[in-house]
Amino acid sequence: MPVLIVGSIALDTVKTPVEEHADLLGGSASYAAVSASFFTGAQLVGIVGGDFPKAHVEFFESRRIDLEGLQQVEGESFRWSGEYMTDMNVRETRSVALNVFEHFTPHLPESYRQTPYVLLANIAPSLQSYVLDQTARPRFVVADTMDLWITIAKDDLLALLKRVDLLILNDSEAKMLTGETNLIRAAEAIRGYGPGYVAIKKGEHGCLLFGDPSKQEFFSCPAFPLANLHDPTGAGDCFAGGLIGELARADEAEITFDALKKAVVSGSVVASFNVEAFSLERLRTLTNEDIDARRGEFRRISQF
Amino acid sequence: MPVLIVGSIALDTVKTPVEEHADLLGGSASYAAVSASFFTGAQLVGIVGGDFPKAHVEFFESRRIDLEGLQQVEGESFRWSGEYMTDMNVRETRSVALNVFEHFTPHLPESYRQTPYVLLANIAPSLQSYVLDQTARPRFVVADTMDLWITIAKDDLLALLKRVDLLILNDSEAKMLTGETNLIRAAEAIRGYGPGYVAIKKGEHGCLLFGDPSKQEFFSCPAFPLANLHDPTGAGDCFAGGLIGELARADEAEITFDALKKAVVSGSVVASFNVEAFSLERLRTLTNEDIDARRGEFRRISQF
């Protein structure tokens, strides 16, 4: 089954303690769609300007991503610039230029409206809701979010969550959204807002997946041990894309917690590759054999 | 096989956002020895004052802990007082009174000197080395340490590490000791100081066990999901005690990485129970059946 993915498409400038690169392919939907494309067909909804390099479009095409929902308009593409400190867990945004993204209205092509798996990658929750308005009761909706929306659009986010099956956010965002200091209680609170499942990303500490506590639905996914991170940008988006891609690929009669566990591992696997190089570079050469091998590694490092 | 455990024995006063208790049984050796006692016989080396409650000694005895190495002298016992903030990961030491501990010289009874498994629980590295001086080439030596010793006794610690098989420390201490910001590189650096194995504790994020990277010896142990921590004091000491207790119980012909993984899980299991109540209270009623059941839970939450 295909997955519908909406989010940002950006040109990034990223600086780390050792390197700096400009005009990189970036944005939540770019990472998520390419990640999902290793598992199933992805339909991309987003907007770019006239300056958007043809090579980036061709990369999407090489991954057989459906671009009917990609709007290309006059003006400049969304641009983001960030810098990672010596501790790669610490990032500073240097500049953001919304450009064409400022007036983005995500219109779904007719052919996308019945797509059963939907990933609302990180954009404003009002836009995420607007996308859902155009769909015909998708089977499973995953939403990603960030601290910005919790701060400036919490009501929109809470309205969206009533319509979401799985919310993805990081540990500090989960605490910020709920006011809880304990992640178990934070996840319980978020389930109270609507989503039956919550995935809390903890960066180098892996990821926690929460379902129904009365069914003991809890999963702790390790992080892959990496001595050198080259660029953490997009790791969370790759995680989300791989997760829904795996779910859509399997398309099981019943979406069980075991299926979600496998999807969390698949998302973690793609994310662990993506941070090995700048932008989406590592995913250009990644193969499904690489993914299967690392899934085995994830099993080896966490089983006893 | 028995384990020899040396460390501090204290009377603690602990305050959390909801409770405060005084004159609790505490100290690194107390927690570690009681934890180890669920797996094998423990020999305790430590010092207490004339004020040390008889009930605490009786508790050690009820756990069949060998107390020939326990020195009881005139004066007051070591006292520690700490406070946990709303975020239970944040602790402030309110006061420390070394008292009889200030002049502690850990003398090993003759009957302890051949003990094959040794845990040097958290005390000054010079004392840890002095204990090793009195032993006859133990089979496996585990050492715990803390930020204080890295700051004020780093040379002593580095000298000790040449004689240690497994070092236990937390993530911030591993970074402090090595100057690395990445835990994989920090563990590699520590292995360069001597210990073949390194266990890095990450609190609510679980624990990482590192062995020989060329043999892909890496294990990520999850943390047990706890919505309510009552008192995190001693969790690391229980981890260390359970770990060496499990190793000594198994006493395998060859101490494999698989055996160490199992030991890390056993240590994590006991630690996860211990934080459910103040001081060592939870361990008073804990059974080996409880431990086995939770080991199964650890497997369930991390397997896919």
Give the model confidence (pLDDT) of A83-99 as tens digits: 998 878 788 999 999 99
What are the tens digits of pLDDT across the range A33-44?
999 999 999 999
The answer to whether B221 contacts A300, with C-beta atoms less than 8 Å apart, is no
Distances from the Cα of B235 to the Cαs of A250, B267, B275, B280, B292, in angstroms? 41, 9, 6, 10, 18
B264 contacts in A (CB within 8 Å)?
304
Judge whether residue B260 has pLDDT over 80: yes
- Angle at which helix A183-193 crosses helix A154-161, to 10 degrees, equals 70
Closest by alpha carbon to A194, among A219, A169, A148, A157?
Answer: A157
pLDDT on residue B50: 97
Answer whether B223's CB lies under 8 Å from B208's CB: no
B86 contacts in A (CB within 8 Å)?
181
Q: Which amino acid is at B1?
A: M
Structure confidence at residue A165 as a pLDDT band (50, 70, 90): very high
pLDDT on residue B255: 96
What are the tens digits of pLDDT across the range A21-64?
999 999 999 999 999 999 999 999 999 999 999 999 999 999 99
Please compute the mean of the pLDDT values over residues A143-148 and round it to a whole number: 96
Dist. CA B274–CA B267, nearest whole Å: 11
Kindly report the average pLDDT of chain A as a whole number. 96
CATH for the stretch A3-302: 3.40.1190.20
Please work out, in degrees rounded to the nearest 5, the angle formed at the alpha carbon of residue A189 by the alpha carbons of A183 and A193: 135
What are the tens digits of pLDDT across the range A102-136?
999 999 999 999 999 999 999 999 999 999 999 99
Dist. CA B47–CA B57, nearest whole Å: 12
Dist. CA A241–CA A44, nearest whole Å: 11
Q: Which of B86, B221, B300 sits opposite A181 (nearest CB)?
A: B86
Query: Chain A within 8 Å of B5 (Cβ-Cβ)?
Result: no
DSSP structural state of residue B165: S
Structure confidence at residue B88 as a pLDDT band (50, 70, 90): confident
Structure-token pair, residue A10? 């950006």
Judge whether residue B228 has pLDDT over 90: no
Judge whether residue A171 has pLDDT over 90: yes
The answer to whether B220 contacts A302, with C-beta atoms less than 8 Å apart, is yes
Residue ranges of domains in chain A: 3-302
Residue B252 neighbours by CB distance under 10 Å:
11
Please work out, in degrees rounded to the nearest 5, the angle formed at the alpha carbon of residue A85 by the alpha carbons of A80 and A87: 130
| Closest Cα in chain B, distance from residue A8 (Å) | 30
| Closest Cα in chain A, distance from residue B290 (Å) | 17
- Residue ranges of B 238-297 with Cβ closer than 8 A to chain A: 258, 261-262, 264-265
| Closest Cα in chain A, distance from residue B184 (Å) | 5
Judge whether residue B89 has pLDDT over 80: no
pLDDT on residue A89: 76
Lowest-confidence pick of A69-78, A90-99, B69-78, B192-201:
A90-99
pLDDT on residue A86: 82
Structure confidence at residue B117 as a pLDDT band (50, 70, 90): very high
pLDDT on residue B53: 97
The answer to whether A219 contacts B262, with C-beta atoms less than 8 Å apart, is no
**By three-state DSSP, how is residue B64 classified?**
coil
pLDDT on residue A284: 97
CA B101 to chain centroid, in Å, comes to 18
Please compute the mean of the pLDDT values over residues A179-205 and round it to a whole number: 96
Dist. CA B89–CA B105, nearest whole Å: 33
Query: How, if at all, do strands B70-72 and B42-48 pair?
Result: parallel
Which helix (H) or strand (E) segment holds residue A141: the answer is strand A140-144
What are the tens digits of pLDDT across the range A218-242?
999 999 999 888 899 999 999 999 9
Dist. CA B209–CA B260, nearest whole Å: 8
Cβ burial B153-183 (10 Å sphere, 16+ → b, else e): beebbebbbebbbbbbbbbebbbbbbebebb
pLDDT on residue B229: 87
**By three-state DSSP, how is residue A12 classified?**
strand
- Per cent of chain A over pLDDT 70 is 100
Structure-token pair, residue B196? 């073949």
The answer to whether B225 contacts A184, with C-beta atoms less than 8 Å apart, is yes
- Angle at which helix A257-274 crosses helix A288-302, to 10 degrees, equals 110
Closest by alpha carbon to B171, among A223, A250, A60?
Answer: A223
